[in-house]
Chain A
Amino acid sequence: MNYEPVIGLEVHVHLKTKTKAFCGCSTEFGQEPNSQACPVCLGFPGSLPVLNKVVLDYAIKVGLALNCKVQEFTKFDRKHYYYPDLPKNYQISQYDLPISKDGFLDIYLEAGVKRICIKRAHLEEDAGKLIHEDAITLVDFNRTGIPLLEIVSEPDINSPQEAYEYLTSLKSILEYLDVSDCDMEKGSLRCDANISIRPEGTSGLGVKAELKNMNSFKGVRDALAYEIERQIELVNSGETIVQETRLWDAKELRTFSMRTKEEAKDYRYFPEPDLPPFIIKSEKIEKIRRTIPELPREKMLRFIKDYGISEYDAKILVSNKNNADYAEERFKAWQDKNKKPVVNWLIGPLAAIASSSNIEISEVKISTSNFLELIEFVEKKQVISNLTGKIVLEKMAKTGKSPYCIIQEENLAQVSDETILNKDIEEVIKENPKSVEAFKAGKENAIMFLVGQVMKKSQGKANPKVVQDILKRRLIDA
């Protein structure tokens, strides 16, 4: 019997507003404990919440980008449970009228596109942070009240890799919308998973396990992979799967059951009396829709069409909005219709420079005009060779100088003068008799080796095309 996994993901995203959801405390990360709190987010007796308008706007924005129906009428509810990181012992959340629902996110796999339906995306406030010591637990309330958007998918995901794709696509969209930092390490994006298995080809839902404590997208993928095997093994050995919460241990690379006994949770939801409801008119929704930028998928397709980039390269470029914008500025500024030279120089040498300095492409400090000037010098005017071009590019990134300046200062202009090239060419012919013979014998490619040797000798300064011509003439005549 073959089994297939059925996975649903719950992603909690910090909305990067300047202040918290219901009070004016700053949301800056990493501050001294309990220095970013007030009577409201501390839940002090007598305090009352007031919703941050940008939180609402961001929630609508995300809902639209995820193809959801944004609700005309939405409200908040109280969700009750006791935990020391929850000051009021209830969380202000949304229960039956979430701000948006019934959307989808398409993911692109080898086999093609797959639509993952999104059940709902709702607003809630975050809880504080607990730090466990030997006999006590410390509580820091800086994080309480930070606005969260909880995005819940339907159980449409059927493999760990699909889950990974879903998460990377979601993160990419959220970054494009500029509503969250989506940094799992800083905790601005958290993911829990629900997973069950069923016989292949069936459509029911098995008993699910809830997985928590995954700290990276890779961790989610690994945890799901482990859990699938664990569940299949259990079923194959005749045991039943228990509905439970399991934690991922990234060191041991396995999931284990939570120690505490689970009781059915009765959250006693009821409408939050301190917050009147919200009526969202269609004009507002359209206004926000107009602020949504071109999203990654659309941009990728357009890059392929307009700039002749491969899907592989386009995907890399659009995965970061700043990189995509940086690249596009340069593509557009290049006058020719054929953007290939710019594409190649960007995805090749420039990306390499970025990677070696551990920064993004968009952070490489080379202006558009300088970048394009360099490409012209190499590709069109052949002032310098490709090899020299890469060297000049590195210097441009370090110094911010123009290619013209650098070429002049370091005397890197490509040599095309035959009289100057002669010395190196003669030496190479002398030193490589085998290749000379090979060429004369009809092996055309042997000349490339000789050209390469001349380039080496001239430290890249020789114009390779000119060198090739000269070599051909010499060898054919001789």
Chain B
Amino acid sequence: MELYKLTAHELLEKLAKKDIASEEALLAIHKRIEETEPKVKAYVRLNKPGELKDNNELNKPSSFLKGIPVSIKDNICTEGYNTECCSKILEGFKPPYDATVIKKLKEAGAVILDKKTNMDEFAFGSSTENSFFGPTHNPWDLERVPGGSSGGSAAAVAADEAVWALGSDTGGSIRQPAAFCGVVGLKPTYGRVSRYGLIAFASSLDQIGPLTKDVRDCAILMNIIAGGDSYDSTSVDITLADYTKALVNDIKGIRMGIPKEYFIEGLDPEVKSIVEEAIGKLKSLGAVSQEVSLPHTEYAVPVYYIIATAEASSNLARFDGVQYGLRIKEGNIIDMYKKTRDEGFGQEAKRRIILGTFALSHGYYDAYYLRALKVRTLIKQDFDRVFNDFDCIVTPTSPTAAFKIGEKVDDPLKMYLSDIYTISANLAGIPAISIPCGFTKKGLPVGLQILAKPFAEETLFRVAYAYEQNTEWHKMKPKL
């Protein structure tokens, strides 16, 4: 069995038994990347030689992860190693510090892979087509998108070019690519994982999370990266559970709410029936289900696109050529700002910055931004009400399976609507996981999304694990 096909927990077992040495896992991944990258293009800036120093973790057999490599999305800061958010405006940026999650991974003995994964520029997108480096190709059908914005991470995991990976999720950017690529993707509760070192898109919505081959790997990775951080005022110091303890194959009596607003026109009929079958499977395992209502669902996408773009327009104001990244040396300082930002930002970034600036501008703030904040309250209240009586909510992750590269890129509104099922979890700050639950007739993966109340990741792991252990989807691999 080729090493690159193994999950992290399988590698850990072999390492513990000393069946393999640390270097072998890393070498296997590197070789797989070499073979597969020309097709998938999950990683960026590959022509640059690895800039990381020799990682000492390989020589620390006593560390927990014993040198297993982790792949990192290009918007998470890694000290001394390029972090560019796949944007021209950040070309060449080498952060002088590690993100907190990177520090934690290093402390646990992981090797941070010397190649960053592809993403939509600044996480603006649902297909990874907005990357300055060009799109990543879905390993299940190379003419299709892997989803976005963490498309590179999801594709790498699906193609076994990564053991496991970190992505970020602001409106579905971990879960939707996980669904499109047939892997597991978790967006933690807002505040569960430190955002220090995550290049911000929307500060009140962003979270870093794992993309993995199975649920156990997801729990292991969450154990390492979760926890309060004194450098992040919005992170929470709630006692950390051992998420692997939630991996019990038993969901008898778990109460699932199925929101009627998610099963309407726009949901692809094939996806609908696959998800309904999955829900049926969960019931056969002992869970009970009931239809629920999240009445303000129809407002989620507009609310998101006001709040997220407003915060993004603010977070991206700092990219001006003064301290880092691209600088167009022309004219006076205002020219420098304007030309640098025009040249450095892609179309979607500009669109969002302008939309967000508009929503915050004098005269429009009340009608747009303030109103969106109020409707956000209504959306959160919908979830609070349901979680009073239900342990989790189950939905499709995405209304369709992966679409073709180029299909939606010229219609931003159409692209935004593909986030319809994932966005609400970010607005409500609740945890959500996507797990593979089947394939369309064309052989494209379909994702099942499970949501729980704040800090109830254990519920997600429990339900996801039970489903996974009673199905075979997670064992299937794309033909590459």
Contact = CB atoms under 8 A, between A and B. Distances in A.
Binding partners A and B: yes
Interface of A: 39-40, 42-51, 78, 80, 82, 84, 87-90, 137, 139, 266, 268-270, 273-276
Interface string B188-199: 000000011111
B200 interface: yes
Contact of A268 (B320, B334, B361): B361
Nearest to A271: B373
Contacts of A270: 310, 314, 360, 365, 369
Contacts of B324: 44-45
A84 B333 contact: yes
A84 B321 CA distance: 10
B357 interface: yes
Contact of A46 (B196, B234, B310): B196
27 contacts: A39-B95, A40-B231, A42-B323, A45-B83, A45-B85, A45-B90, A46-B77, A46-B83, A46-B97, A46-B195, A46-B196, A46-B198, A47-B196, A48-B195, A48-B231, A48-B232, A48-B233, A48-B234, A50-B233, A78-B314, A80-B317, A80-B360, A87-B322, A88-B317, A268-B314, A274-B203, A274-B233
A212 B380 CA distance: 47
A49 B93 CA distance: 21
B231 to A, nearest CB: 6
B233 A44 contact: no
Nearest to B356: A268
A311 B374 CA distance: 58
Q: Which of A39, A51, A139: most chain B Cβ within 10 A?
A: A39
Contacts of B369: 270
B74 to A, nearest CB: 11
B196 to A, nearest CB: 5
Contacts of B357: 268
Contacts of A266: 361-362
B472 to A, nearest CB: 39
A82 B361 CA distance: 15
B311 interface: yes
Interface in B70-129: 76-77, 83, 85, 90, 93, 95-97, 99
Nearest to A264: B362
Given A39-B96, A46-B198, 14 more contacts: A44-B323, A45-B77, A45-B93, A45-B318, A46-B77, A46-B99, A46-B196, A47-B196, A50-B232, A80-B360, A84-B322, A88-B317, A90-B317, A276-B234
B196 A48 contact: yes
A45 to B, nearest CB: 4
B337 interface: yes
A89 B323 contact: no
A49 B310 contact: no
A82 B317 contact: yes
B347 interface: no
A273 B426 CA distance: 14
Nearest to B235: A48
A299 B77 CA distance: 55
Contacts of A84: 322, 333
A273 B203 contact: yes
Contact of A89 (B77, B197, B320): B320
B377 interface: no
A68 B433 CA distance: 49
B204 interface: yes
B311 A89 contact: no
A44 B333 contact: no
Nearest to A51: B233
Interface size range of chain B in the complex = 35 or more
Interface in B286-341: 310-311, 314, 317-320, 322-324, 333-334, 337
B143 to A, nearest CB: 33
B440 interface: no
Listed from nearest, the 6 A-B pairs whose CB atoms lie closest are A89-B317, A273-B203, A268-B360, A45-B199, A273-B204, A46-B197
B469 interface: no
B20 to A, nearest CB: 35
Nearest to A42: B323
Contacts of B83: 45-46
Given A39-B96, A45-B77, A270-B369, A50 B230 contact: yes
B421 to A, nearest CB: 24
Contacts of B99: 46
A72 B324 CA distance: 40
Nearest to A81: B317
Interface string B172-197: 00000000000000000000000111
Given A82-B337, A276-B234, A45 B200 contact: yes
A88 B323 CA distance: 10
A88 B318 contact: yes
Interface in B191-250: 195-200, 202-204, 230-234
Contacts of B337: 82
B131 to A, nearest CB: 17
Instruction: Find the residue from B96, B202, B322, B334 having the highest chain A CB count within 10 A.
Output: B322
B95 A44 contact: yes
Contacts of B318: 43, 45, 87-89
Contacts of B96: 39, 44
A139 B322 contact: yes
Contacts of A44: 95-97, 323-324
A50 B231 contact: yes
A44 B77 CA distance: 10
B233 A275 contact: yes
A282 B332 CA distance: 51
A82 B338 CA distance: 11
B361 A273 contact: no
Which of A82, A137, A270 has its CB near the most chain B CB atoms (within 10 A)? A270
Contact of B234 (A45, A87, A139, A274): A274
A263 to B, nearest CB: 12
Contacts of A89: 317-318, 320
B362 A46 contact: no
Interface in B24-61: none
A42 B317 CA distance: 13
B311 A273 contact: yes
A88 B362 CA distance: 20
A256 B234 CA distance: 46
Contacts of B310: 270
Contacts of A276: 233-234
A46 B200 contact: yes
A268 B362 contact: yes
Contacts of B234: 48, 273-274, 276
Nearest to B232: A48
Contacts of A78: 314
Contacts of A274: 203, 233-234
Contacts of A50: 230-233
Nearest to B334: A82
Nearest to B90: A45
A128 to B, nearest CB: 10
Nearest to A43: B318
Nearest to B93: A45
B196 A82 contact: no
Nearest to B325: A45
Contacts of B322: 84, 87, 139
A40 B200 CA distance: 13
Contacts of A268: 314, 357, 360-362, 365
Nearest to B333: A84
Nearest to B202: A273
B317 to A, nearest CB: 4
Contacts of B334: 82
Contacts of B333: 84, 137
Contact of A90 (B76, B196, B314, B319): B314
A139 B320 CA distance: 14
Contacts of B77: 45-46
Contacts of A82: 317, 320, 334, 337
A474 B90 CA distance: 101
